Amino acid sequence: MQKRTLGKNGLAVSAIGLGCMGLSYGYGPATQTQQAIKLIRTAFERGVTFFDSAEAYGPYKNEELLGEALAPFRDQVVIATKFGFNFNAEGGQSGMNSRPEHIRQVADAALKRLRTDVIDLFYQHRVDPEVPIEDVAGTVKELIEEGKVKHFGLSEAGARTIRRAHAVQPVAALQSEYSLWWREPETEIIPTLEELGIGFVPFSPLGKGFLTGAINENTAFDSTDFRNIVPRFSPEARKTNQALVDLLDRIALQKKATSAQIALAWLMAQKPWIVPIPGTTKLLRLEENIGAAAVELTERDLHAIEDAVSKITVQGDRYPAHLQARVDR
């Protein structure tokens, strides 16, 4: 698979990464360990060298899974993980925590779970309003100097925060939601990243599965599935938003591709420094998603998509209010 570079310090990754969250957390019961290991190793065999995790996924279990799955070829892959939360005894998130001493503890624990001596990309998962971003960037800078971390990243950070952080420690990548049904980053974030030379890693590039056409208004999610509380996934919203999936379907047919592949190819066509990280628990879908790297959208295709999408208004917020409040703007 082609490679792309994130940031100015040469972080080279496959043009499509693997989002590993759903293997342990978020979308129903965790995948059985051996199956999950097989999926991750198949991704590597197919050319994926960029794997996304977080302390919060599980919590802890996802990093342990990646540690085991990637151990045989650790030196050939880029592992990204994240810090920034406290957890209660049941494993639920109990607030943000990006205090310097906490970041250091999380780094040491993540290194053990990931069975490695260096974290390739260490993101702050959410901007902590209690801790100046300069202190966060300064702490990651020290971890880089100590050899425990290679690159610094932010997630869901606003433009001002990105600039302040970048002035202390160059940011290699921003990981935020971006897809055909969430285009807010286009107004301020993407121009800021372009100006500063920071890479962009869109999360939920398949709209949490919706843009693939595999979900409709009648789909029932597992009781532990996060999408049950997302307004954009209410049955009424799904019904309205089906127009977007139908559009993707039509383009996919013309391009002899699938809707998922068009959604990913569209992201990659926006900038050469955009690297989507679709998540899946299924081998067939993994192959399909990786296949998007070979789908080329011409200027004409992109105009046709733009034109059609501009006529559709997506219904429903992408987060419930209490989670939207955590997003830095």
Ligand X SMILES: NC(=O)c1ccc[n+]([C@@H]2O[C@H](COP(=O)([O-])OP(=O)(O)OC[C@H]3O[C@@H](n4cnc5c(N)ncnc54)[C@H](OP(=O)(O)O)[C@@H]3O)[C@@H](O)[C@H]2O)c1
Q: Which residues bind ligand X (CB under 6 A)?
A: 19-22, 27, 52, 155-156, 175, 203-209, 212, 214, 260, 277-282, 285, 288-289
With 0-12 CB in 10 A as exposed, 13-18 as middle and 19+ as buried, what is 322? exposed
Nearer Cβ to ligand X, position 52 or 63?
A: 52
Nearer Cβ to ligand X, position 261 or 303?
A: 261
Catalytic residue among 27, 57, 123, 178: 57
Nearer Cβ to ligand X, position 199 or 279?
A: 279
Minimum Å distance from CB 145 to ligand X?
25
Of residues 158, 18, 25, 169, the one with CA closest to residue 85: 25
Minimum Å distance from CB 276 to ligand X?
8
Minimum Å distance from CB 59 to ligand X?
14
Alpha-carbon distances, residue 153 vs 124, 137, 182, 201, 301 (angstroms): 6, 9, 21, 10, 32
Nearer Cβ to ligand X, position 17 or 170?
A: 17
Nearer Cβ to ligand X, position 98 or 145?
A: 98
Q: How far apart are CA 17 and CA 275, in angstroms?
A: 7
Neighbours of 164 (CB within 10 A): 15
Kindly write down the DSSP assignment for every residue of 212-277, as one continuous string: GT---TT----TTBGGGG-GGGSHHHHHHHHHHHHHHHHHHHHHTS-HHHHHHHHHHHH-TTB---
Minimum Å distance from CB 208 to ligand X?
5
For the question of residue 60 being annotated catalytic, the response is no
Contact by Cβ (8 Å): 175, 155: yes
Of residues 123, 266, 246, the one with CA closest to residue 206: 266
The two tokens of residue 100 are 């310097």
Of residues 179, 295, 315, the one with CA closest to residue 243: 315
**Position 301: which residue type?**
D
Minimum Å distance from CB 299 to ligand X?
25
Q: Which residue is nearest to ligand X (CB)?
A: 19
| Residues annotated catalytic, as ranges | 57
